[in-house]
Chain A
Amino acid sequence: MPVTVGVLGLQGGVREHRELLEHLGARASLVRAPSDLVGPDGLRVDALVLPGGESSTIDKLIRLFDLFEPMRTAIADGLPTLGTCAGLVLLAREVVDPAPGQRSLGVLDVTVRRNALGSQVASSETTVSTPLGPVQVAFIRAPVITRVGAGVESLGTHAGEIVGARAGAVTGISFHPELTGDVAFHRELLAHATRSSRAA
């Protein structure tokens, strides 16, 4: 049976993740309400993607639609998760330069600075060296990681800043492999999902 990956589908670059996951042979399902994530028999997904978008908007929407706590619990309990750009901001323990009242799930022990690489005219396409090999990606008004907690691995740098981190099955990256179609991080997520569903 193919792995099912939930893609948080309230706002942002949802379609690109979905297409990439389906291209890799996974099932992608949109998470727009708590029942999309958790059913009567437990979790409905083997992994989760938090897409790019406007992090302050997505934060409001997941609280408004009662997804904040179920997502936090599921990820803290080991649900393999990939967050890109705004998704990294959502995963972070601490956010610098938040919008007023902005919160994060706090499930990845890093500090993230929003829009640290500048406005849209500084957005770029480039290659980043990572433990998964060089990846071709886009940075869009991207955040950076200013602190990596104990037991968290840094995944690469760009312009002298840390732009990715992982701890166990939770990975957060500043950039967008889903815009360029680079499959390395999604393949890694599916590998985690397969391992954890075998273990269950």
Chain B
Amino acid sequence: MGAMTTTLGSPLVKRGLADMLKGGVIMDVVTPEQARIAEDAGAVAVMALERVPADIRAQGGVARMSDPDLISAIIEAVSIPVMAKARIGHFVEAQVLEYLKVDYIDESEVLSPADYANHIDKQAFTVPFVCGATNLGEALRRIAEGAAMIRSKGEAGTGDVSEATKHIRTIRHEIAVLKATYEANPDELYVAAKELQAPYEIVREVAETGTLPVVLFTAGGVATPADAALMMQLGADGVFVGSGIFKSGNPAARAAAIVKATARFDDPAVVAEASRGLGEAMVGINVADLPAPHRLAERGW
């Protein structure tokens, strides 16, 4: 028997974990207790952080990677995958998170960017990364840097789903246009790549397959079971719920209801049953009322 090679951190292995999260809900948690509530409710993973986006928004100041003690305590508390956020471009925060053995790093616009020019070179890590995007070009630039999963950004910490809707629709629409362009006039893909500001090879792959080469979740403003089902019907592979759960009246019930509605998003009877008697949803802020400097989705490029 010949020697067998075992490869860690290949693109397939990085994208593979995201593949296993499909159809699921990833929940923001700020304590080990919240992480256990999320696991009990059926979350496929938790995002460990110090403050949910709604509080980052309310308290202001610079938002950074969480304390390693908190992240380690959350990893200890649950058996499901644990993700954590690093600032855009802060590759040392990412090194720390990899050392702590988080399962995924979110290079996130919810934290304050550490570099206004460069994102993290994600190819250089064994741990996989998820990155936010508001459109196809942004998604493809992140994938070129090594992102193994994309989440449409939405507007975190608002409870207003309109930006999430806009971003997932935009990405899906741009993919459809690209595919049609390729089928009609393949020679126009070079200009399409220029306009998308993304490498030709990845643009061509998307044009040929009609889909992103990595899993696409949505995030930012999802607060109800119907919001989650909306994202799934619009073509998301799964959803992130941030402030929507633990800023609501009954987090455990709401979390379980969002899991149920995400799994059977195409059945109105299931979504209706999941929506009953959940108590107060998070109060929320309309994105239209947010002054431009407070819009997180505009961070990252």
* Chain A, range 82-117, C-beta contacts under 8 Å to B: 85-86, 97-101, 114-115
For B, the interface residue count at a CB cutoff of 8 angstroms equals 42
How far is it, in angstroms, between the C-alpha of A61 and the C-alpha of B263 when the chains are bound?
A: 8
Binds A, one of B18-26, B54-62, B139-147: B18-26
Residue in A closest to B11 when the chains form the complex, CB atoms: A125
How far is it, in angstroms, between the C-alpha of A14 and the C-alpha of B21 when the chains are bound?
A: 10
Q: What total count of A-B pairs have CB within 8 Å?
A: 133
Binds B, one of A21-29, A48-56, A69-77: A48-56
Give B86 Cβ to nearest chain A Cβ, in Å.
15
A60 at the interface (CB under 8 A from B): yes
B186 at the interface (CB under 8 A from A): no
A123 at the interface (CB under 8 A from B): yes
Chain A neighbourhood of B23, CB < 8 A = 9-12, 14, 53
Provide the main secondary structure of the chain B interface: loop
Q: Which of A16, A86, A126, A179 contacts B4 (CB 8 A)?
A: A126
Q: Which of B13, B20, B264 contacts A12 (CB 8 A)?
A: B20
Cβ contacts B40-62/A at 8 Å (1 or 0 each): 10111100000000000000000
How far is it, in angstroms, between the C-alpha of A99 and the C-alpha of B4 when the chains are bound?
A: 33
How far is it, in angstroms, between the C-alpha of A46 and the C-alpha of B21 when the chains are bound?
A: 27
Residue in B closest to A114 when the chains form the complex, CB atoms: B79
Q: Which of B1, B5, B79, B127 contacts A115 (CB 8 A)?
A: B79
Known: A16-B19, A123-B9. 11 other contacts (CB 8 A): A11-B263, A32-B264, A57-B44, A61-B263, A64-B260, A120-B104, A126-B7, A129-B1, A138-B16, A141-B81, A141-B103
Chain B interfacial positions (CB closer than 8 Å to A): 1, 4-10, 12-13, 16-17, 19-24, 36, 39-40, 42-45, 75, 78-81, 98, 101-104, 126-128, 259-260, 263-264
